[in-house]
Structure 1
Amino acid sequence: MLVKINAFKYFLTLLACTGVNAVTMQQFESSLDMMRNGCAPKFKVATEILDNLRAGEFIENNGELKCYTRCIAQLAGTVTKKGEFSVQKALAQIPIILPPEMQEAAKAALNACKDVQKSYKDSCERVFYTTKCVRDYDPATFKFP
């Protein structure tokens, strides 16, 4: 599993170092699968629930699912050492990990949802509800590993 996580981080580093401004939709969707493969084995969450999450369905009474979303955010480099979701880090990742057609919607959603996490103490819940807010802001553009 560590190999899968390192492979994803290598992928992001490679994109950043090669000067690629954005990925294609196909590359982005492949990265979603890599991220899922890096985090899913750590949590007891059925594939069906993860598939539903990818489609934008958030099950709020599932602690494992909440921590899965934090794991994904950690892989993307958007969680601070204190376990908070960092909008600044997420905004910095947008040009690297999202295709151009998703970037403006993602920026707007992140800015609209930046304060959601203040209502939660638990790191998993902070990330989960911020992610849910992003989905609610623009369901048509939302995609999640």
Structure 2
Amino acid sequence: MGHQLPTSDQDFVGSLIPQRFPFVMVHELMDYSDNHLVSGFVIKEDNIFIQDNTFQASGLIEHQAQSVALHTGYKYFLLGKDAPTGYIGAIKSFEADILPKTGDRLESEVTILHEMMGVTLVDIVTKVNGGIIARSQMKTAVK
């Protein structure tokens, strides 16, 4: 299996999610357990969600959803299987206190609340420099 956490090996992290450049919003897998994951992402100025040097709320939502996909992808990796394709089933809540800027490093903590029949309910908290900037609760589903 060969990969230890944390890892910022972009080829490895990219292999765990279905998205491809320029739509990749996770660069680092910092911590993982059955019901928890911490991801990292550095916002670059060429990001498709940048407007006036600010990462838009839609980009934060996509980063959070890809963090959930990263959890699923790493779980499948540990089982020796290919990661399934998934999608956001519903966003129960989303709150952004601050929109991050180019150069900021996002750190998102995913907590799996419930998982049944391919549908996962999660809480996600995103931080910049240790301060919480966004929270959400969403359901994701795998094909």
Which of the pair is proportionally richer in helix?
A: 1
Scaled by the length of structure 2, what TM-score is found? 0.30
Which of the pair is proportionally richer in strand?
A: 2
Structure number with higher relative contact order (C-alpha < 8 Å, ≥ 6 residues apart): 1
